[in-house]
Amino acid sequence: MIEEIVRLKNENFSWEQIAATLSIPKQQAKQEWQYRLTEKAKRNVQNSLHTVLLSKERIYCKWHLDPFLLRAAFYCETPLNPDVLDLRIFDVTDIYFNGTNAHSMTCVKVNREDGFWIIKGLKSNRSYLCEIGYLTKNYSFWPILQSHPVHTSYEYSTDYILKAGEAEAFYQHSFNEPAWIEHPDCLQ
């Protein structure tokens, strides 16, 4: 029903026309529409895990986990402790990360109610990404959300030489994929 209303509304049908097409009272059509808007607004607060580089060696991780998503995760895999989550930061420099091939990993235990964490001690010129999840009954990490990757700055400005060849190649043939990590908005 609601899909029909949305479709007709998007085609600029008036409420009278929608009510007539679907043989329902006008008021009902409007209420359903209103309800959907509210629901959508609620749902819009997305589940997300976001990372921001605060400085050369600090990363800020921020997440929002809908209780519903957490319940669903717990349904799939029973947690060892439902009140403790794992925030993991992986060094994924120059690899296609598959969950098992990170160069290194650091784990932080966070409370279920927490929403952010700052991790210090990042190395220069490395790629990192974060995941939030938890340990299952058999002590294995079960991820729920993954962040986009970030790349820390060079140690010295002369380090640009390390990527100079790839940068030049991209400049000449920009249809290729860039060989580095870009701002997430650029990928949209």
Partner 1 sequence: MKYSFSSIMMVNHPFRPLALAGSTADSAEIITLMKAYGTLLEAASRTEPGKPVTGVVNLFTLGWMNGARGKMAVASFMKLQPDGVLPAVLRAHNGSFIQAFKELMTQQKLVLLPVSLSQFPLTAYTLKGAAKEDLKRTSAIWKELFGTLPLSIWLPRGAYTPGIDELLLQEGCQFVFLPHDAFPLEEQEGVQWVSPRGLKLIPYRKDHQESGTTGVTLFSLAGQSARRHWEDIQKRQVSSSDRSSAKRVIHFPLVYENMNEGHTLITAEELHRCDPIIHLKEEWDEKYALAISEAAGVLDLEWAYCIYAAVHGLKEELKSAIDSLRYLLDGAHKEFPDLDYAHQRMRLHYGVTLQSKQFVGGVERMEGAVLLLSWEYPPNIVGGMARHVHGLAEALVASGREVIVLTSSHHESAEYECVNGVHIYRSGPLHKGEQDFLKQTSDLNLCLFQKAMELMHKHDIALIHTHDWLTGDAAILLAEQKQLPLISTIHATEHGRNNGLHNELQHAIASKEKKLIEASDTVIVCSQPMKEELRVYYEGSGKDIYVVPNGVEFEESVSGLTRFRSMEPFIFSIGRMVFEKGFQTFFEMNLKNLKKENIQFIIAGKGPLLETWREEVKKRGLEDTIHFVGYVSDEERRALFQSCKAAVFPSLYEPFGIVALEAMAFRKPVIAAATGGLKSFVLHKQTGLLFEPGNAEDLSEKIAAVLDQPGYANELGLNGHEMAKELYSWAHISAQTEKIYDQTVFIKKMEGVRT
Distance CA 99, CA 101 (A): 6
Contacts of 32 (CB under 8 A, 6+ apart): 1, 2, 5
Q: From residue 114, give the alpha-carbon distance in Å to each of 60, 138, 157.
A: 13, 24, 37
User: Least Å distance between CB 21 and partner 1?
Assistant: 11
Stretch that binds partner 1, among 10-18, 65-73, 82-90, 133-141 (CB under 8 A): 10-18
> DSSP readout, 67-132?
HHHHHHHHHHS-BS-TTEEEEEEEE-TTS---SS--SEEEEEEEETT--EEEEE-PPTT-EEEEEE
By CB under 8 A, the residues from 11 to 50 that bind partner 1 are 11-12, 14-16, 26, 30, 34, 37-38, 40-41, 44-46, 48, 50
Q: Cβ closer to partner 1: 105 or 159?
A: 159
User: Least Å distance between CB 163 and partner 1?
Assistant: 5
By CB under 8 A, the residues from 138 to 167 that bind partner 1 are 150-154, 156-160, 163-164, 166-167
By CB under 8 A, the residues from 112 to 141 that bind partner 1 are 116, 118, 125
Distance CA 151, CA 159 (A): 14
Listed residue (75, 131, 74) closest to 106, CA to CA: 131
Would you say 153 and 183 are in contact if contact means Cβ atoms under 8 Å apart?
Answer: no
By CB under 8 A, the residues from 50 to 89 that bind partner 1 are 50, 52-56, 58, 60, 62
**Where on the chain is the footprint of partner 1 (CB under 8 A)?**
11-12, 14-16, 26, 30, 34, 37-38, 40-41, 44-46, 48, 50, 52-56, 58, 60, 62, 116, 118, 125, 150-154, 156-160, 163-164, 166-168, 170-171, 174, 178, 180-188
